[in-house]
Amino acid sequence: MSAENTDGFQTLQKKFGRFRILIVGRANAGKTTILQRICNTTEKPEIYDGDGNKLDLSQVEGSTERGIHNIENELIFRSNKKFVFHDSQGFEAGREDEFLQMKKFIADRANTTILKKRIHAIWFCIPMDEFERAILRAEEMFFEECDPGNVPVVVLFTKFDALLPVALGKLIPADRRLPPRERLSKAELLMEGIFDSADIWGRLAQMKHAPKFYVQIGGMDKSSEGCTKLVEATTGVLGEEALQMLLVSAQEVNIALCVRYAVREWVCVADWQSIVP
């Protein structure tokens, strides 16, 4: 990042703080891998309480295993401290107290007058290795009862490559006799149709507090392509230009996006200061 853009991020950070994201989803949805990819690391995050005190990771993990979790805790990766993440672990377990805790957190953090405490986006992860059970009671409760206000929700259909074996099984006999590479190409074309036929997005879009957008993410352990799509999608649904610039400056997985926004907005120190009073 150039010196001008670094100064611009610092100017935005004085007003908004770090870019803050709540990530929601089942325990097997690949949430940790996504956050690590976004922050370009394989390390676990450091965890802080709501007052900024660093917590002992082993104690936090032990508490999580016992079903005790504090959504207020902040997850920050040393490789990129421009992001703050909150994780709604335990949400899918069906416990009413966990759901109410998350609902209150969203309401408080979406409307707080303390700008540095606001959440800027919500990522809701739904794994496609369970695509036939993609929308359960937990998803219905979230999108019918949790009002995110002006905070955009982006659905992440993670593990999208899990649809490949399903697609291979649907190939016609003639295609199954093709060489492996051609057979794979045929199956990849079927994956989108399998996703569409499940009507997962269509059902979510009809709910009271429908998400703003979705991203299909596969092979997160092998490529940053999913991160690129995710950052671009999130940037596109943010309602404030200053928040778009905060996210673009914070992320490090998509240099082209930085360049595109820099050219579009003629980003320099003066421009940043005109965006943020």
CATH number of the domain residue 221 falls in: 3.40.50.300
Tell me what the pLDDT averaged over the chain comes to: 83
Classify residue 275: in a domain, yes or no.
no
The answer to the question of residue 262 being in a domain is: no
- Residue 67's pLDDT is 41
Task: Say yes or no to pLDDT of 191 above 80.
Answer: yes
Interval 63-103: pLDDT, tens: 444 444 689 999 999 999 999 999 987 666 557 888 889 99
pTM for the model stands at 0.85
Domain assignment of residue 213, yes or no: yes
Report whether 123 contacts 142 (CB < 8 A).
no
User: Does some domain include residue 123?
Assistant: yes
pLDDT at 57 over 90: no
Q: Could you give the 3-state DSSP secondary structure of residue 191?
A: helix
pLDDT tens per residue, range 116-141 = 999 999 999 999 998 999 999 889 99
- SS in 3 state form for 118-162? CCCEEEEEEEHHHHHHCCCHHHHHHHHHCCCCCCCEEEEEECHHH
Tell whether 97 is covered by a domain.
yes
Percent residues over pLDDT 70 in the chain: 78
| Position 261 in a domain | no
Q: How many domains does the chain have?
A: 1
Give 62's pLDDT tier (boundaries 50, 70, 90).
very low
The confidence score (pLDDT) of residue 205 equals: 97
- Residue 247 placed within a domain: no
Average pLDDT over residues 177-199: 92
pLDDT at residue 218, as a whole number: 87
Residues in the chain: 277
What is the amino acid identity at position 231? V
19 near 84, Cβ under 8 Å? yes
Residue pair 149/111 in contact (Cβ under 8 Å)? The answer is yes
Residues 6+ apart with CB under 8 A from 49: 55, 70, 72, 73, 74
Report the share of the chain in percent with pLDDT over 90.
53
In a domain, 248, yes or no: no
Q: pLDDT of 194-247, one tens digit each?
A: 999 999 999 999 999 999 999 999 876 666 666 888 999 999 999 888 899 899
Query: What residue numbers bound the domain in which 215 lies?
Result: 19-240
| Residue from 238, 195, 239, 236 nearest 217 by CA | 195
Q: Which residue has the tokens 């006999």?
A: 173
- Rounded to 10°, the helix 225-237/241-250 angle is 160
Query: What is the spatial distance between Cα 190 and Cα 193, in angstroms, rounded to a whole number?
Result: 5
Q: How confident is the model at residue 109 (pLDDT cuts 50, 70, 90)?
A: very high
Are 156 and 215 contacting, i.e. CB atoms less than 8 angstroms apart? yes
Quickly state the pLDDT bin for 263 (edges 50, 70, 90).
very low
- Residue 164's nearest CA partner among 195, 125, 200 is 195
Which pLDDT score is estimated for 273? 43
Q: Which residues contact 12 (CB under 8 A, 6 or more apart)?
A: 242, 245, 246, 249, 272, 275, 276
